[in-house]
Structure 1
Amino acid sequence: MTDQLQETSTSGRVEHTLAAIWRGGDDVSLESVPVPPLEPGEVLVRVTLATVCGSDRHTVSGRRAQPCPSILGHETVGHIVAFGGDDELQSVDGQQLHVGQRVIWSETLPCGTCDRCVAGVTAKCRTVRKAGHEAYDSSWALSGGYAEHVLLPRGMPVAVVDDDVSDALAAPAACATATVMAVIERAMPIAGKRLVVIGAGMLGLTALAAAADADASSVTAVDPAAERREMAKQFGATTVVASIGEVEQCDVLIELSGKAAALQEGIGKLDVGGVAIFAGSVAPDGDIAVDPESVVRRHLSFRGVHNYEPRHLIQALDFLQRSNGRFPWTDLVAEPVPLDRIGDLLTGAPGSKPRYSIAP
């Protein structure tokens, strides 16, 4: 069926592709959709693997606002199949792009000219567009990875994936791993520090490994799930506990569970000069109370992280490459299923691994 729906003209241009369109609730339908002619600076990528981020499951369940209908999916790896125009396009690390390269791309597409972009905070661009988050009836219909092809607009940060980084490592790098690189950067310096990570899901496990890689003196994983605590031991955790109440003190607290109560208790565990990174609270989960006097007397710092910058894509791939033999990264991603199963992955019960995947 896929070969029949992926129609091309006599010139070889891809004219139609197969995509899973989310139309609200648990309605996800596979449809043959048109691929527009490429404009100068645009890139067409054939998807080889896409992993399912928890935020997409939140979208389908109604916990998170998202334009609808849309093609979801923002953890994606694929091969370049075509360019628009004759532009000499480059990756974020300066490599010239060409057809056949395996690439990942940023979750965010910034304008590059607003005050936030000029200040280096492109993730918070005033007119930011996001891969896998755009309306199907917008000018960027093919923005999501749950499809056979993705169209990358002009200006999209792209990173080339080396041959020794598998698809299962590369796809999550476009969201989970790159986000963790931004988190670790905000938490620096880490070497010699006592670090605690709340939540041992995909981001939490990656953060544990990154903290170990950055030479933290101790790395504690906090998660109520016994299977996640066991997995944390394989990703750099020197200590695993079921609740933050079991932690004595720490220098760096990284919150990735999205649970306000855990964050509230975790702040109380920070030693003098401690730093708390808020990164998991991407959906409402209640307020926390902060005692200003305690913050002053303990010299505490609170920092928020949401999304990441283009440099973090490169850092993510470099980190995965050098740590591939140290941590069992491929154990985090389930074997891929066909694109027509994506509806089940978005609405079904969570599996035993942090990431589902599809191979269109």
Structure 2
Amino acid sequence: MDSTVAAVWRGGEDIALCEVPVPVPQPGDVLVRVRLATVCGSDRHTVSGRRSQPCPSILGHETVGHIVAIGAGRARAVDGRPLRPGQRVVWSVTFGCGTCDRCRAGVTAKCRTVRKAGHEALDSDWGLSGGYARHVLLPHGLAIAIVDDDLPDKIAAPAACATSTVMAAIERAGHLTGRRVVVVGAGMLGLAAVAAAATAEASEVVAVDPNPRRRDLARLFGATEVAASLDADRNHDVLLEFSGSSAALQQGLRTLDVQGVAVLAGAVAPDSPVTVDPETVVRRQLSVLGVHNYEPRHLPAALSFLTATRTRFPWSELVADPRTLAELPALLAGPGGPSPRYSIAP
């Protein structure tokens, strides 16, 4: 295969379909035919100018596809199973070097030379990295996970970013069984966090979002209560913050009870500072933690979680029916839809 079709982002709202060369897979590389790519909010932020990345490039990092070719030698999934043509797979957003101090410490998402799927320059050695294309090249060493046959594409694709990030946030929060959990922001990540807390048998799961449609969805995903804003007179043991709103976080921190834990994952774009009272942190023995992206182990964990809960929660309702690559510019630049995720079937 000499070339494929991709939606190339050239800055602002300039996105055009182009023929892009397909490199010959090197030993251990995996070439994938994209089946479905969901539209993460961070790509919309890129197009609107709220976040920066190399340009031109191929966006898209929540992707499921099937393997069409593997470079010489063997390639294995993150769980050790051999990869072969025809398998459906998802892959990690981040690709660490494996040798720097952070990678050696197990924090590969913060590798000092990290590369990211859907974030690399078109003229780099990983130009075919984004999911808004017919094909993606997965370099040797990138974490890849095999998707079970009974998990639909619409459920599997968000595992590559949203669901795996939630798995990382839940891990940092610690055990949730019997604890009072509040989830701030009921978008794609927040709804997955609500479902994870409900599955872990938290004593209560309060979902907070000003959008009534999202509050309705939160109930379907296991929220015991929903609210448009935080109740300042109520205490929680765990705060999971996915809204990115400094005002909501400020209020949420005040609701944490003794030894409460706050995990922040939504603040991925600039907002106003948050004031933290050190005396309150000391006297209540609070923990404030951050999560950005996830580690390779969270990818199969996300797929296992989705498989185990696929009949309990309406995951497919979170992803709109797929559109074409030609329609992508309007989806990235236009207003959000009723579903948390648009999708593209190249």
Which residue, out of 168, 191, 204, partners 1:182? 168
| Distance (Å, rounded) in 1 between the aligned partners of 2:217 and 2:311 | 16
* Residue 36 of structure 1, CA deviation: 1.4
Q: Does 1:279 align with 2:265?
A: yes
Q: Do residues 326 (structure 1) and 312 (structure 2) align?
A: yes
TM-score by length of 2: 0.99
Separation in 2, partners of 1:134, 1:214: 37
71, 85, 99: which one aligns with 1:99: 85
Q: Return the alpha-carbon distance in structure 1 between the equivalents of residues 82 and 134 of structure 2.
A: 24
SS in 1 for 2:332: helix
User: What amino acid is the match of 1:126?
Assistant: R
Distance 1:324 1:39 in 2: 36
* Aligned residue-pair number: 346
Q: Which blocks of at least 5 consecutive residues in structure 1 are unaligned?
A: 1-13
1:245-278 deviation line (CA, Å, top 9, x unaligned):
3661100001100000100010000000100001
Select which of 24, 30, 35 maps to 1:37. Answer: 24
Which of the residues 322, 330, 335 maps onto 1:349?
335
Describe the SS at the equivalent of 1:308.
coil
CA distance in 1 between partners of 2:233 and 2:146 (Å): 40
The corresponding residue for 1:9 is none
Structure 2 letter corresponding to 1:217: S
TM-score (norm 1): 0.95
Partner of 1:358: 344
Aligned residue for 1:49? 36
How far apart, in 2, do the equivalents of 1:247 and 1:275 lie?
17
Structure 1 residue 81: Cα displacement = 0.4
Question: Which residue is 2:108 aligned to?
Answer: 122
Q: Do the aligned partners of 2:25 and 2:70 also contact (CA within 8 Å) in 1?
A: yes
Shift of the 72–246 alpha-carbon distance from structure 1 to 2, 3 Å rule, reads same
Among 100, 112, 125, the residue aligned to 1:139: 125
**What residue is the counterpart of 1:70 in the other structure?**
57
Go from structure 1 to structure 2 and tell me whether the alpha carbon gap of 1:283 and 1:247 turns closer, same or farther (over 3 Å shift): farther
2:298 matched to 1:312? yes
Tell me the alpha carbon deviations over residues 137-189 of structure 1, each in whole angstroms, 9 at most, x when there is no partner.
Answer: 11111000000000011111000000000000110000000000000000011
Matched, 1:239 2:225: yes
Partner of 2:253: 267
What is the rounded CA distance, in whole Å, between the counterparts of 2:168 and 2:21 in structure 1?
36
- Paired letter, 1:65: S
Letter in 2 for 1:287: P
Counterpart residue identity of residue 52, structure 2: A
Query: Sequence identity, in percent?
Result: 66
Paired with 2:85 and 2:222, the residues of 1 have a C-alpha distance of: 38
Deviation at 1:215, TM superposition (A): 1.1
Pair 161,217 (structure 1): closer, same or farther in 2 beyond 3 Å: same
Cα 1:25–1:247 change in 2 (3 A) is farther
Distance, in Å, in 1 between the alignment partners of 2:253 and 2:77 is: 39
Offset, 1:305: 0.4
Is 1:90 the counterpart of 2:90 in the alignment?
Answer: no
The runs of 4+ residues in structure 1 deviating greater than 2 Å are: none
Q: Contact between 2:75 and 2:140, CA under 8 Å: does it hold in 1?
A: no
Amino acid at match of 2:51: R
Q: 1:113 to 1:255 in 2, by over 3 A?
A: same
